[in-house]
Structure 1
Amino acid sequence: MADIDNLVDMGFEREKAAYALKKSNGDLGSAVDWLGENSDKSLEDLKAAEEAPADPKPGEQAQSLQCDDCGKLFKSVAQAEFHASKSGHENFSESTVEIKPLTEEEKKQRLEEMKARLADKRATQAEQEKIDRKKNEQIRMKATKESQDAKEALEKKERLKEAAEKKREKKAEEDAKKRVLAKLEADKQERKRKADIEKAARAGQAPPPPVAEPSGPTSSGPTTSKPASAYTETRLALQTPSGRVTKTFPVETTLFEVAHAMEQDGVQVNTFNTTFPKKTFDRTDFGMTLKEAGFVPSAALIIK
């Protein structure tokens, strides 16, 4: 098998292998060394950077060049320069010793040595790549864990926020319910007081004393009536097709918002109707607030 085929079998490009053999004057070992040294350079770059070897002087009888630092012989200036670049040796002299070409057995032995060196080099590179892949995987896993931790922290924050919001809504609902019950009780007491006054008047008796105002957080305030402008909330008794419900809204709530709240409960609203005075509020009126519609402090509405 030709030397160039051996180099190709070792994994080198054919054109680069041919160039290496030419540069090393056919010495297989030097060609392999040169290819290994210049494995990261393209053939075009190597050709562009090559300097033409000096022509031999007339009458020269030298058969080889010898490295005075290590005693190694070389067939050509190119081989000597290559040796100098690898070893750092600087002292060379001409020699009359002729370098005999390698025998087929020597070539085979040199080739096996070169294959072994190349295999060791590739094994070292493969091991380094394995180490690099492991480091990259560790970096990726660390980044993934940090991302997962950040995601879990955000989800926990959202859950806490949602729980706090539900707690706030529940507290607001309970407070609203207490206010409605207090208002109903106050209305009941007011109606009873008026009935007692009328009863005493019919019997020619003195009117009963006013009922003392209840104390505490559920107090509905004085029993005397207040102007509509003094109320901030209004209580609506809403008659729906499925029954009667009572809701409390701020006086600035629009009829549209009331309709939307009822639709959230499954009740479709087209109009609000009052019986006394008899009046209908359709969707063209839904921009009015409860205060503007005269539904303060309370009102009974029929939903259709």
Structure 2
Amino acid sequence: MATDLEQLLEYGFEKEKAELALKHGGGLQGALDWLDKNADKSIEEIKAAAATQADIDEEPPAPKEGETAQSLVCDDCKKRFRSVEQAEFHASKSGHENFSESTEEIKPLTEEEKAAKLELMKKRLVEKRAAESEADKAARKANELIRRKATKESQDIKEDLQKKERLKEAQAVKREKEAEAEAKKRVLAKLEADKAERKRKADIEKAARQGTAPPPPAPEPAAATSSAPTTSKPASAYTETRLALQTSTGRIQKSFSVDTTLFEVAHALEEGGVVVNSFTQSFPRKVYDKTDFGMTLKEAGMIPSAALIVK
């Protein structure tokens, strides 16, 4: 004949929980009552609740062998006990003090009742596991939705940053092209002015050889724009030069002494929060890195003005 533990294991109860049930119930009937009361609790919860109401409601120890069976009733909670020891155990755990004797005998479960109770508890156990499985599925689904939302938000942020970076790069390229076009325009204007000056000098020399009157001086050019270089005096006569500096934060125009080094220009920009690694002159194109920072603006030919891209 199977033991009480084997019967409980046969119906699908965990071994540790079945052993605890037999320990607290004192036999198969008490174990069934204990398992019924603790069906919704895990082993960890049962162990952690040794001093809680769950323990207070546990079935007291079974009567000792040979003890006369009698019925006692707790007037506070209406719970029945077979022995005085059981009632005392209940009182120590619950704090209940009012008990009375009862002529009603607590009859043990029949084999059919035990089997029916086991079947009922097995059904509850299956239902509980099914409910836990559904709860796990719902939790996994909720977690997956949260993960997808977080992933989409992260992708949106990444795409927005990439879009802003592309726009920033496009603006930088546009500014560089504008600076190159401006520098080219100034160089062409200077070349035209130099060409006109050479022609004027050649005409004067020709008139001197032929003994004729020199040609009238060339008319003053129209009002020059801010981008056109002045040719009213030679470069050696300038003491200052005007720089148009295109930085990542905007355009800066500033005048420096012609003896100012590129290092000093970089230092002046860095005091304003601009990091400088190199200067790029668009037309004619030339890059001045940190190895060239010892050159003065005069030595670099940046007189009377120049446009530089700061990187």
TM-score by structure 2 length?
0.63
Which residue among 145, 148, 154 is the counterpart of 1:147? 154
2:36 alignment partner in structure 1: 33
Greater relative contact order (Cα 8 A, min sep 6): structure 1 or 2?
2
- Structure 1 regions of 5+ residues with no counterpart? 235-249, 268-283, 298-304
Which one is further off, 139-148 or 112-121?
Answer: 139-148
State the 1:141 CA deviation.
2.2
Instruction: Report the equivalent of 2:248.
Output: none
The farther-off stretch of 197-206 and 24-33 is: 24-33
Question: 1:115-264 counterparts in 2 under 5 A?
Answer: 115-215=122-222, 216-217=224-225, 219-225=228-234, 227-229=236-238, 232=241
| Alpha-carbon separation, structure 2, partners of 1:154 and 1:191 | 55
User: Which residue matches 1:18?
Assistant: 19
Work out the CA distance in 1 between the residues paired with 2:26 and 2:145: 49
Aligned letter for 1:229?
Answer: Y
Instruction: State how far apart, in whole Å, the 1-side matches of 2:32 and 2:192 are.
Output: 111
1:193 deviates by 0.6
Residue number among 109, 112, 117 corresponding to 1:105 in the alignment: 112
Compared CA separation, residues 233 and 25, structure 1 to 2 (3 A): closer
Identity of aligned residues (%): 54
Distance 2:162 2:242 in 1: 37
Deviates more, 1:65-74 or 1:104-113: 65-74
Per-residue deviation at 1:210?
Answer: 1.2
Decide whether the 8 Å contact of 1:65 with 1:93 is kept in 2. Answer: yes
Question: Once the two structures are superposed, what CA deviation does each residue of 1:116-141 show, in whole Å capped at 9, x if it has no partner?
Answer: 11122222222222222222222222
Q: How far off its partner does 1:219 sit?
A: 4.8
Distance 2:119 2:152 in 1: 49
CA shift, 1:199, in A, is 0.7
Q: Distance in 1 between matches of 2:126 and 2:237?
A: 98
Structure 2: unaligned runs, 5 residues or longer: 244-256, 264-277, 305-311
Q: Residue 82 of structure 2 contacts residue 106 of structure 2 at CA under 8 Å; is this kept in 1?
A: yes
After superposition, the Cα gap between the structure-2 partners of 1:287 and 1:225, relative to the gap in structure 1 and judged at 3 Å, is: closer
Normalised by the size of structure 1, how large is the TM-score?
Answer: 0.64
Give the secondary-structure state (helix, strand or coil) at the position aligned to 1:117: helix
Does 2:295 align with 1:288? yes
2:8 alignment partner AA = L
Quick one: distance in 2 between partners of 1:37 and 1:295? 87
User: Which whole-Å CA distance do the structure 1 matches of 2:15 and 2:75 have between them?
Assistant: 34
The aligned residue for residue 101 of structure 2 is: 94
Deviations 1:87-114 (A, max 9, x none): xx99864333433433333322211110
CA distance in 1: counterparts of 2:115 and 2:132, whole angstroms: 25
1:46 matches 2:50: yes
- For 2:3, give the aligned amino acid: A
SS at match of 2:50: helix
Q: Distance in 1 between matches of 2:280 and 2:294?
A: 15
Q: Match for residue 247 of structure 2?
A: none
C-alpha contact (below 8 Å) 1:65/1:92 kept by paired residues: yes
After TM superposition, give the deviation of residue 293 of structure 1 in Å: 7.3
* Count of residue correspondences: 256
Q: Deviation of residue 182 (structure 1)?
A: 0.5
Tell me by how many angstroms 1:203 deviates.
Answer: 1.1
Give the aligned partner of residue 239 of structure 1: none
Q: Relative to 1, partners in 2 of residues 1:179 and 1:294: Cα closer, same or farther, differing over 3 Å?
A: closer
Letter in 2 for 1:183: K
Cα 1:12/1:81, change in 2 over 3 Å:
farther
Superposed CA RMSD in Å reads: 4.8
User: Is 1:3 equivalent to 2:8 in the alignment?
Assistant: no
Measured in 1, the distance between the counterparts of 2:116 and 2:5 equals 16
Deviation at 1:47, TM superposition (A): 8.2
- CA distance in 2 between counterparts of 1:78 and 1:124 reads 36
Tell me how far 1:23 sits from its aligned partner. 2.2
